[in-house]
Structure 1
Amino acid sequence: MTNTQSLEPAAIDPRDEARNRRAARLKPVGLGVVLALALGGSYLWYSGRNIESTDDAYTDGRAMMISPRVSGNVVSLDAADNQFVKQGQELLRIDPRQYQFERDLAAGALASAKAQLAAQQNGFEVAQKNFPALLAQAQAQLASAKATLAKAQADYDRQRSLSKLATSAQDVDAAKAAMEQAKAQVALAEAQVVQASPVPQRVGEIEKQIGQLQGAVQQAQARLDQAELNLSWTELRAPQDGWITKRNVELGNYVAPGQQLFAIVGPERWVTANFKEGQLKRMRPGQKVNIEVDAFPDLKLEGHVDSIQQGSGTKFTAFPPENATGNFVKVVQRVPVKIAIDSGLDPERPLPLGLSVVPTVALK
């Protein structure tokens, strides 16, 4: 009896068949996921290749520190925390009595200097007439003395020429005495002429005195101007519209020049964004910017690139790095970019300075 091999096909395992059916169903799904990832990546790359964004950005504005220029006790304080003030509004007043006293003293000194100058100017006008007149008078007296001397000399010569019977020794002595007296008068008159001769010099001396008094008047006027300026500085007024912040003074405090009393934050706002140096290649002033504010998610701001700072942030620190010394380690630098806000600000909700924002720059 011969054994024959069975030709019937082997039975298929049901578990393999289930796996095959499951793989067939998952294959389109996998292809779809891969396709979706590829499309999503392509979209992200395409949509992001024309934008630059950074989270190293904050709101910025103008904050002016208010400090006194004179010292004294605060006698009036009209600046409350976070109060909005107008330009020119009085904020603080320092006791003015000392500066009023100094102003009055300076005004008195100026009045005295002006009076002295006026008197000297009047004396100059008189001197311009008197000194030439005195010289002319001395010259006239000299001429008169010379004439008297000539007559006395002639009388003496005549007395000497007479015989002793026609004159007497007493007459001769009297004529001689008259002649000597006339000579003395001539000498005196000549001295007076010499004394009165330097008319330009004497007038010039008074002019110099007038110049000195004019300088004294100018100095007194400068002291008065400084005193009035110091008095005006006892009132501190707002240099711009804005909000009072960081108030550091109370009524009755003694304040000194340069002491920081408070700051005024102006209403103007912009964004300072510190972009990495590699993000600046296509960035230009005028490009549109969308701005998101972390503190106010519902606030959507729009602006534009105003300017790019000509230097990285580290360049303007107190101790900038010196790459030429020691071992150099390359660090990616950030450059501040000023972004002006064009629209979206809520006037009823001003943005405090220093809030974190996320600007997105459209590079097209």
Structure 2
Amino acid sequence: MSQPPQSRSKKPFVILGLVLGSVALAGFVYYLINRGYETTDDAQIDGNIYQISPRVAGQVVQVLVADNQHVTKDQVLVKLDPRDAEAALAKAEADLAQAQAQVSVAQANQGQAAANVSVADAALLQAQQDDERYRAINQRAVSQQQRDSVTATIRAAKAKYDAAVQQQAGAEASVTAAQAQLTAANVEVKNANLQLSYTTITAPAAGRVAMRTVRDGDVEPAGAGLMAVVGDDVWVTANFKETQLPGIHPGEPATITVDAIPGITFKAHVDSIGAGTGAVFSLLPAQNATGNYVKVIQRVPVKLVFDDNRVAQYGLAPGLSVLPSITIQP
């Protein structure tokens, strides 16, 4: 007697249906949760990194900071040997004193020249008056010799007056030249003071010391890299896909989670949107005018600024990976 055929089990189909339903439900829930947000994992902390270099060559006499030390704005970082700059300043100050003395001498000569002009002018006037008196009396009472003497006296007085005027003009030119030398000497003193100030290297902003390579006794040329100062002011640069940009606007609130600080969420907001894609500003921008073109979704940097006072507490550093989430306004 043959047995009736056994019916196929429906259990696998039920399991498959439950799995597909669970996946669909999870996707729907994920959509509901994230439909009001834009996020990307292509984001990192950014900040100002100041490269510290000497503006003059010299030997390092003292390094006053350690690796990773926090410094304040204008805090002294490195001191160079100032003796050469001090000697140059002393010479410039001596030249300035000499220039000041030369101006005084030139002004005294100018005064003397002006006095000589006055004396010559008085002598010329006296000679002219004498001539007028001789002309006013009877000509028979004055000899030809007397008239010739008066005429010669006038000519001599006129010549002396002209010479005194020329001397005065030369004295005035000497004063102008001396004053120009004094101005140049003042400039040299200011420049020498400036060069001396360059032997003391200070922090351009508050931050932490990084990549310190300088040591006491090193002889450093101008422009050599000594260290870097990473500024305290940090922000987030998030590279969003261009298809995400329609919902992102400056001022929108955001939250930031940092991979290095799990469990902590920082408040932030959208500060600005980049003026171009990352590809445009790359070292070798893509050239799409030749060959086969494959469209690739571009990414645009979006700057997010922290609104959280805890940022300084956790010491966020440039380069750390973060996950931003921007709340999209309907």
Aligned mate of 2:30, from 38, 44, 52: 44
Matched, 1:102 2:88: yes
Matched, 1:133 2:122: no
Matched, 1:240 2:205: yes
- Give the residue type in structure 2 aligned to 1:78: L
Aligned mate of 2:215, from 232, 237, 250: 250
Aligned mate of 2:77, from 91, 112, 131: 91
Partners in 2 of 1:274 and 1:352 — Cα distance?
18
- Give the residue type in structure 2 aligned to 1:70: V
Partners in 2 of 1:240 and 1:143 — Cα distance?
80
Which residue number corresponds to residue 282 of structure 1? 247
- CA deviation after TM superposition for structure 1 residue 65, in Å: 1.1
Which residue number corresponds to residue 185 of structure 2? 220
Partners in 2 of 1:128 and 1:113 — Cα distance?
22
Partners in 2 of 1:133 and 1:337 — Cα distance?
83
Aligned mate of 2:172, from 178, 203, 207: 207
Alignment deviations for residues 57-96 of structure 1 (CA, whole Å, 9 cap, x no partner): 1111121111111111011111211111122221111111
Matched, 1:54 2:44: no
User: Which runs of 5 or more structure 2 residues have no equivalent in the other structure?
Assistant: none
- CA deviation after TM superposition for structure 1 residue 202, in Å: 4.6
Conserved 8 A contact 2:116-2:164: no
- Give the residue type in structure 2 aligned to 1:278: T
Partners in 2 of 1:49 and 1:29 — Cα distance?
30
Partners in 1 of 2:15 and 2:142 — Cα distance?
160
Alignment of 1:256-271 (within 5 A): 256-271=221-236
What fraction of aligned residue pairs are identical, expressed as a percent? 34
Deviates more, 1:290-299 or 1:231-240: 290-299
- Give the residue type in structure 1 aligned to 2:306: I
Partners in 2 of 1:347 and 1:143 — Cα distance?
93
Which residue number corresponds to residue 118 of structure 1? 104
Aligned mate of 1:73, from 59, 75, 80: 59
Deviates more, 1:299-308 or 1:68-77: 299-308
- CA deviation after TM superposition for structure 1 residue 198, in Å: 6.9
Which residue number corresponds to residue 298 of structure 2? 333
- CA deviation after TM superposition for structure 1 residue 300, in Å: 2.3
Alignment deviations for residues 70-125 of structure 1 (CA, whole Å, 9 cap, x no partner): 11101111121111112222111111111111111111111111111122223323
- CA deviation after TM superposition for structure 1 residue 128, in Å: 2.9
Which residue number corresponds to residue 358 of structure 1? 323
SS of alignment partner, residue 45 of structure 2:
strand
- Give the residue type in structure 2 aligned to 1:239: P
Conserved 8 A contact 2:134-2:142: no
Which TM-score applies when normalising by structure 1?
0.79
Partners in 2 of 1:245 and 1:293 — Cα distance?
21
RMSD: 3.0
Alignment deviations for residues 110-164 of structure 1 (CA, whole Å, 9 cap, x no partner): 111111112222332343333022122134246558979999x95897xxxxxxx
Distance change >3 Å, CA 282–CA 346, structure 1 → 2: closer
Alignment deviations for residues 302-335 of structure 1 (CA, whole Å, 9 cap, x no partner): 3221111111122223443444456544332211
- CA deviation after TM superposition for structure 1 residue 262, in Å: 0.7
Partners in 2 of 1:16 and 1:323 — Cα distance?
65
Conserved 8 A contact 1:146-1:182: no
- Give the residue type in structure 1 aligned to 2:116: N
Which residue number corresponds to residue 175 of structure 1? none
Distance change >3 Å, CA 110–CA 326, structure 1 → 2: farther
- CA deviation after TM superposition for structure 1 residue 229, in Å: 0.8
- CA deviation after TM superposition for structure 1 residue 235, in Å: 0.6
Distance change >3 Å, CA 249–CA 281, structure 1 → 2: same
- Give the residue type in structure 1 aligned to 2:93: A
User: Which runs of 5 or more structure 1 residues have no equivalent in the other structure?
Assistant: 1-9, 158-178
Matched, 1:231 2:217: no
SS of alignment partner, residue 335 of structure 1:
strand
Deviates more, 1:342-351 or 1:250-259: 342-351
Which residue number corresponds to residue 16 of structure 1? 6
Which residue number corresponds to residue 294 of structure 1? 259
Distance change >3 Å, CA 136–CA 37, structure 1 → 2: same
Partners in 1 of 2:53 and 2:169 — Cα distance?
50
